[in-house]
Amino acid sequence: MPFTASSNADRTRAALGASALTVALGAGLIWGLAVHRTAREPAALAVFQVPPAVVPPEKPKPVQPRRRTGRPEGEASPPNLRAEPTEVVAPTPVIPLPVKPPVVAAPIAGTGAMPSAGSADIPGPGFGSGGVGKGRGSGGAGDGDGDGGGREETPPEWVRGRIRDSDFPDALAETGIGGTVGVRYTVWTDGRVVDCEITKSSGSRLLDATTCRLIRERFRFRPSRDRQGRAVAATIVENHSWMVEQLPPDPAPAPRRRRGLFGL
């Protein structure tokens, strides 16, 4: 078998070629197995509107049918008589407020220190003494605050003022309306009437108001007196009647007789 001797140059070239082949294979493996990522641009932010949530409509509640009762339906009242009111309107009565009576002051002031007054040997509930003097009590009609059997209380006494037939309202004269008015009024310490109220109506507001107005304007009294002779307020309760008399019609005149000639 022939044999050819190799030189150093040949061996060097062969080693370089084998090294280059090894490097090429390694680079191919590295490049082939590497992960190549492609850079992508970020997507633009998408903007969109979100519609409001749709609320489903409420279901209508079922209407309960009205239960019918066994009672009959009410009927209208029968027609009333046709009437027109008069042009005259009754005025509203003016009732003044009652005035409080004045506070009565004592004629003299006490100077003692006892919780009671009197001159007896035993205590008692009264303020008077047995004799007549200038002290706080009196046995008769003195000026003290004792009660020794003096004068009695006197009611108010009418002096003047009355209601006449001519005071009857003209608006009611032709209608024939009358009646009795019950009143309660107060006679003050000066004898005047300070208030008046209706306790029983006559059925006509005009008659009631006229009665109280005339009493306040015209009636005067001597005031009521207490046991010490002091004027005090008093209340009077009474009735006033308005009577309408229907006059008979005038008689018709007698027919005149016509006389003929020669007195026939």
What does the mean pLDDT of the chain come to? 72
List the single range of 12-26, 62-76, 116-130 with lowest mean pLDDT.
116-130
Residue 202 falls inside a structural domain: yes
pLDDT score for 4: 55
- With a CB cutoff of 8 Å and minimum separation 6, the contacts of 240 are 163, 180, 181, 183, 211
67-120 per-position pLDDT tens digit: 766 666 666 666 666 666 666 666 676 677 666 666 555 555 555 555 555 555
Task: State how far the Cα of 107 lies from the Cα of 146, in Å rounded to an integer.
Answer: 13
**Residue 62 one-letter amino acid:** P
Number of structural domains in the chain: 1
In a domain, residue 229? The reply is yes
Structural domain including 202 reads: 157-162+178-242
Has residue 50 been placed in a domain?
no
Q: Does 187 fall in a domain?
A: yes
**For residues 29-56, average pLDDT:** 70
Distance CA 220, CA 232 (A): 15
User: What CATH number is given to the structural domain containing 188?
Assistant: 3.30.2420.10
Instruction: Provide mean pLDDT across the span 227-249.
Output: 83
Q: Convert the pLDDT of each residue in 124-144 to its tens digit.
A: 555 444 444 444 544 444 555
Look at residue 96 and tell me if it is in a domain. no
Upper half-sphere CA count for residue 95 (Cβ side, 13 Å): 13
Look at residue 69 and tell me if it is in a domain.
Answer: no
Residue 207 falls within a domain, yes or no? yes
The CA distance from 213 to 195, in Å, is 10
The mean per-residue pLDDT over the stretch 145-155 comes to 66
What was the pLDDT predicted at 101? 63
Q: Which of 49-53, 100-104, 172-176, 225-229 has the lowest mean pLDDT?
A: 100-104
Question: At 145, is the pLDDT very low, low, confident or very high (cuts 50, 70, 90)?
Answer: low
pLDDT exceeds 70 at position 246: no
Establish if 195 belongs to a structural domain.
yes
